[in-house]
């Protein structure tokens, strides 16, 4: 992929503007020019490399609900990862296609040289003009500025489509992260009001957090309350149950003990044998 410094830079008057047309503007088919030909080649490449496909059986398509699935942070992350992978594949395919096109065009123009005309009669103006035209055609094939511009244009269109799809996903990911953080803070601020509510907590880590709070000292409890925005009136019912219900207290003690035993950071180091 060419570096950004090697691409044609936008004009100052076009900065901050969308330089791509959002709708197709047909060209004059009676007078095809280089732009029309290059667009035709690029369209052929897109059809050959991308094509179109509708996956799934007819039964699956009919059974598909009209309501789209709700995006989560995980699904959006997958979409961004898949889009980046697909974009990399598109660039590799485009590079291979452009290299093949360039090679074929060079060969075609090189084959236009008539070796039999190398020893032309300098007095024969027809032969001299003919050889000069062939040499000019061959010399023009070497830099091929038009072809270089076609490469830039094709790459710009591919990257424009990529960024046009990527930016909404990045925005959506940012919004979902903010929403998920808000939900997590709300969830962390909730404190079970009874033993039953404690048992109904689906997240094991949250249960351990509550258990460590119940077993903690006054200073440790105050620190956790500040961290998770708990208030005294919310923690008092379960704390009272912990102090008065021997079975629940033993359950909390065993829960914390098991968590410490499974945590490798809390395992005692082995005594070295000398």
51-105, pLDDT tens digit by residue? 544 444 445 544 555 666 778 888 999 999 999 999 998 888 888 888 887 788 7
How many separate domains does the chain show? 2
Q: Do 196 and 230 fall into the same domain?
A: yes
Is 160:20 a contact under the CB 8 Å cutoff? yes
Q: CA-to-CA distance for 71 and 253, rounded, in angstroms?
A: 40
- Structural domain boundaries, residue 183: 38-47+71-187
Pick from 239, 233, 228, 257: which is nearest to 195 by CA?
239
Average pLDDT over residues 108-133: 70
The number of residues in the chain equals 274
Is 33:149 a contact under the CB 8 Å cutoff? no
Q: Do 143 and 169 fall into the same domain?
A: yes
Above 70 in pLDDT, residue 119? no
DSSP states along 75-134 = HHHHHHHHHHHHHHHHHHHHHHHHHHHHHHHHHHHHTT--GGGTT--TT-HHHHHHHHHH
Task: Give this prediction's pTM.
Answer: 0.52
| Single residue among 157, 172, 187 that ends a domain in this structure | 187
pLDDT tens-digit series, residues 32-51: 555 555 665 666 666 666 65
Q: Do 214 and 155 fall into the same domain?
A: no
Output the CA torsion sign for 81, 85, 91, 93. negative
Helix ranges, 190-269 (H): 195-199, 204-215, 218-228, 232-244, 246-262
Q: Is residue 235 part of a domain?
A: yes
Q: Higher-confidence residue: 183 or 123?
A: 183
- Please state which of the ranges 115-129, 157-171, 181-195, 245-259 shows the lowest mean pLDDT: 115-129
Above 80 in pLDDT, residue 114? no
pLDDT tens-digit series, residues 154-174: 888 888 888 999 999 999 999
| Single residue among 153, 187, 221 that ends a domain in this structure | 187
Q: Do 180 and 251 fall into the same domain?
A: no
């Amino acid at each position: 992929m060419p570096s950004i410094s090697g691409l044609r830079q936008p004009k100052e008057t076009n900065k901050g503007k969308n330089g791509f047309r959002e709708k197709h503007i047909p060209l004059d088919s009676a007078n095809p020019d280089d732009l029309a030909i290059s667009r035709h080649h690029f369209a052929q490449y897109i059809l050959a490399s991308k094509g179109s496909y509708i996956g799934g059986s007819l039964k699956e398509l009919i059974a598909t609900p009209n309501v789209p699935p709700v995006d989560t942070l995980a699904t959006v992350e997958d979409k961004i990862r898949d889009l980046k992978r697909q974009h990399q594949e598109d660039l590799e395919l485009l590079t291979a296609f452009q290299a093949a096109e360039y090679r074929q065009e060079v060969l075609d123009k090189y084959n236009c040289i008539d070796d039999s005309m190398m020893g032309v009669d300098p007095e024969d103006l027809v032969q001299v003009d003919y050889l000069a035209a062939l040499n000019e055609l061959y010399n023009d094939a070497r830099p091929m500025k038009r072809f270089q511009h076609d490469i830039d244009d094709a790459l710009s269109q591919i990257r424009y489509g990529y960024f046009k799809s990527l930016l909404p996903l990045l925005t959506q990911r940012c919004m979902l992260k903010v929403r998920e953080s808000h939900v997590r803070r709300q969830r962390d601020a909730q404190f079970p009001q009874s033993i039953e509510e404690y048992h109904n907590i689906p997240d094991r880590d949250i249960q351990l957090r509550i258990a460590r709070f119940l077993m903690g000292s006054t200073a440790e409890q105050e620190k956790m309350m500040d961290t998770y925005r708990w208030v005294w009136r919310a923690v008092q019912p379960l704390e009272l149950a912990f102090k008065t219900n021997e079975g629940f207290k033993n359950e909390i003690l065993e829960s914390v003990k098991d968590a410490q035993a499974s945590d490798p950071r809390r395992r005692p180091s082995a005594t070295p044998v000398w």
